[in-house]
Amino acid sequence: MTSVRSGFDDLVTGARNVDFWAFMAHHEVKQRYRRSYLGPFWVTITTGIMVGAIGTIYGGMIGSDAARYVPHLAVSFVLWSFISQSILEGCHMFLEAGGAMRQMKTPRSTFLYKTLYRNVLLLLHNAVVILAVFLLFGVLPGWPLVLLPLGLVLLFANIAWMVLVSGILCARFRDVPPIIMSALQLLFFATPVLWMPEALPPHLSLIMLNPFFHLIAVVRDPLLGHWPDMVSVAICAAMAVFGWIGALGLLSRTRKRIVFWV
Amino acid sequence: MASVLLENVALDFPIYGSTTQSLKRRVAKALVGGAIEKSGSKVTLVHALSDVSLALAPGDRIGLVGHNGAGKTSLLRLIAGIYEPTGGRLEVVGRITPLLDIGHGVDPDATGYENIVLRGLYLGRSRREIDTAMPAIAEFSGLGDFLELPVRTYSAGMTSRLLFSASTHFPSDVLLIDEGIVVGDEDFQARAIERLDGLVGQAGILMISSHATDILERYCTKAVRMAGGRIVATEPISASEGPEVAS
């Protein structure tokens, strides 16, 4: 356990730095849309337009029932945006924090919390699109909704370590950001966002190895009124445990040196 | 009770992506203080600090002197907890305020008030402390209604007034100052020096890195001379002699 101890301490002290990261996250969201009339609701609007356009075009092409396809698309697209945006921002979180790290004593995880919180704020803005689609198509999730908190915990727990690991790797090796960007682009097509998981032909079931397949499923299923697949839940839980052990080990080993890399 | 204790502290840091051709390294070694060494394949290792021992107690007023690259800023960052020593022992007791780069993190599109909050957060203060201090900081800055406007509309002098006012408001046990923080026009400078006197007076331990003899004579009782990442001399400062005498 000693090998993950200093990383764990860093996470705890970083969490206490809430005044810093919460203000920074809010401030960054606000600053980006300052002097625009709609402010951060531009996030909501652009997502709404994407979902509307893809829903119409792809929904028409695939020929599936709009009442099933569009809610699936809205939830999956919003979740995918959260996942990919968080990880991409994670790539730059330490690189951008170089100046701050060199003038104040601060746990490295402060910047992790800032990145996560900022993306959760954006996720909440995008959740409005899901709500609108549900109202439009009269989607009522029913009882499976009680498992939504479980799905969200699994999603956030996994995204958090992924953001941390990509932050550290990208700070050390400048070749990693483009690698991660390409990998995410590929994974987008291997994740049921534009297509529905039922459409997956058996010979392509290897796609189930894609971790994001399950991370999205555990949140999407309860929202759409399905009980989540326990295999997906188990995979997400295992990923969270092993991912965090690895991430804490990495943070413990590199924590002191990150400031010299950026 | 504030205290700072360093025992045989070493700080090495890796520099990535530098071309480590030997001629360049030799030249660099001759020009700057820090000892540069090649470690492994492409990573240059800088011995920023070597074998630094120092024990400071309340009332100590230290002026750090030495050439560029002698390790003054590295030492301040080490004591501030920004860098962790790669060797030796470091113990600091008390609340530390590093005033190293007070211009960092200015958001030109944010208002003066928002930038005061940003500055306070970068100094490690809580929102509550900052909100309580806000009226006093605003008053001292003398910027009045300009604080409602984005900082990009400020003149350079106004920006530095704002940063100085926010940065020097909070008292601390261990105050670490990197050169050149007194700013503004003449009228403001007089008040700034007065403010700095107060801040320094409240601090248990002061460490200033500076080349300016008048600053050192005004605030420091002891000069620590650094060269090549080591402490080479410790000499008393008195207003009549100045730090340069013993070197």
Domain locations in chain A as residue ranges: 2-261
Please give, rounded to a whole number of angstroms, the shortest distance from the CA of A23 to a CA of chain B.
Answer: 8
B118 — pLDDT class (breaks 50, 70, 90)? very high
Total beta-carbon pairs less than 8 A apart between chain A and chain B: 55
Structure tokens, B111: 């208002």
Q: Is B123 on the interface with A (CB under 8 A)?
A: yes
| pLDDT tens digit sequence for A204-249 | 888 888 999 999 999 999 999 999 999 999 999 999 999 999 999 9
Q: How many CB atoms neighbour CB A140 within 10 A?
A: 7
Question: Rounded mean pLDDT of B136-155?
Answer: 93
**Amino acid in position A27:** H
Question: Rounded mean pLDDT of A183-208?
Answer: 88
Contacts of A27 in chain B (CB under 8 A): 107, 110, 114, 118
Question: Given B14, B82, B123, which is nearest A102 (Cβ)?
Answer: B82
Of all residues in chain A, the one with the smallest CA distance to B84 is A256
In a mutational test of the A interface, the residue from B82, B90, B116 whose CB has the highest number of chain A CBs within 10 Å is: B82
Question: Given B83, B105, B109, which is nearest A100 (Cβ)?
Answer: B105
B46 — pLDDT class (breaks 50, 70, 90)? confident
Q: Where are the domains of chain B?
A: 3-95+205-236
A 14-33 residues with CB < 8 A to B: 19-20, 23-24, 27, 31
Residue with tokens 């809610």: A71
Please give, rounded to a whole number of angstroms, the shortest distance from the CA of A84 to a CA of chain B.
Answer: 27
Question: Given A99, A100, A104, which is nearest B98 (Cβ)?
Answer: A104
pLDDT confidence of residue B246:
36
pLDDT confidence of residue A71:
95
**How many Cα atoms are found within 13 Å in the side-chain-facing hemisphere of A211?**
16
Contacts of B117 in chain A (CB under 8 A): 23
Residue A161 reports pLDDT greater than 80: yes
Does the distance separating the beta carbons of B123 and A23 come in below 8 Å? no
Q: Is A99 on the interface with B (CB under 8 A)?
A: yes
Higher pLDDT, A140 or B43: A140
Q: Is A188 on the interface with B (CB under 8 A)?
A: no
pLDDT confidence of residue B21:
42
* SS3 assignment for chain B: CCEEEEEEEEEEEEECCCCCCHHHHHHHHHHCCCEEEEECCCEEEEEEEEEEEEEECCCCEEEEECCCCCCHHHHHHHHHCCCCCCEEEEEEECCEEEECCCCCCCCCCCEHHHHHHHHHHHCCCCHHHHHHHHHHHHHHHCCHHHHHCEHHHCCHHHHHHHHHHHHCCCCCCEEEEECCCCCCCHHHHHHHHHHHHHHHHHCCEEEEECCCHHHHHHHCCEEEEEECCEEEEEEECCCCCCCCCCC
B184 — pLDDT class (breaks 50, 70, 90)? low
pLDDT confidence of residue B42:
62
Residue B245 reports pLDDT greater than 60: no
Higher pLDDT, A61 or B30: A61
Contacts of A14 in chain B (CB under 8 A): none
Does the distance separating the beta carbons of A102 and B114 come in below 8 Å? no
A7 Cβ contact list (under 8 Å, min separation 6)? A247, A248, A249, A250, A251, A252, A255
CATH 3.40.50.300 fits B3-95+205-236, yes or no: yes
Q: Give the mean pLDDT of chain A.
A: 92
Strands B205-209 and B174-178, by their bridges, are parallel
pLDDT confidence of residue B241:
44
- Look up residue A227 and give its DSSP letter: P
B240 — pLDDT class (breaks 50, 70, 90)? very low
Q: Is B12 on the interface with A (CB under 8 A)?
A: no
pLDDT confidence of residue B247:
34
Residue A153 reports pLDDT greater than 50: yes
Task: Tell which residue, A92, A122, A101, A99, has the closest CA to residue A14.
Answer: A101
| pLDDT tens digit sequence for A8-20 | 999 999 999 999 9
Q: CA dist A254 to B9, B15, B53, Å?
A: 20, 15, 26
Question: Rounded mean pLDDT of A51-71?
Answer: 86
Of all residues in chain B, the one with the smallest CA distance to A173 is B16
Residue B146 reports pLDDT greater than 80: yes
Residue A133 reports pLDDT greater than 60: yes
Contacts of B104 in chain A (CB under 8 A): 99-100, 103
B197 — pLDDT class (breaks 50, 70, 90)? confident
Question: Given A27, A103, A260, which is nearest B98 (Cβ)?
Answer: A103
Please give, rounded to a whole number of angstroms, the shortest distance from the CA of A166 to a CA of chain B.
Answer: 19
Does the distance separating the beta carbons of B124 and A104 come in below 8 Å? yes
Q: Give the mean pLDDT of chain B.
A: 83
3-state secondary structure of A123: helix
Of all residues in chain A, the one with the smallest CA distance to B120 is A20
Please give, rounded to a whole number of angstroms, the shortest distance from the CA of B18 to a CA of chain A.
Answer: 12
Q: How far apart are CA B117 and CA B130, in angstroms?
A: 6
Question: Rounded mean pLDDT of A108-129?
Answer: 96
pTM of the model: 0.88
Please give, rounded to a whole number of angstroms, the shortest distance from the CA of B118 to a CA of chain A.
Answer: 8
**Amino acid in position A130:** I
Question: Rounded mean pLDDT of A121-125?
Answer: 95
Residue B115 reports pLDDT greater than 90: yes
Instruction: State the DSSP string of A166-212.
Output: HHHHHHH-TTHHHHHHHHHHHHHHTSTTSS-GGG--GGGGGGGG-HH
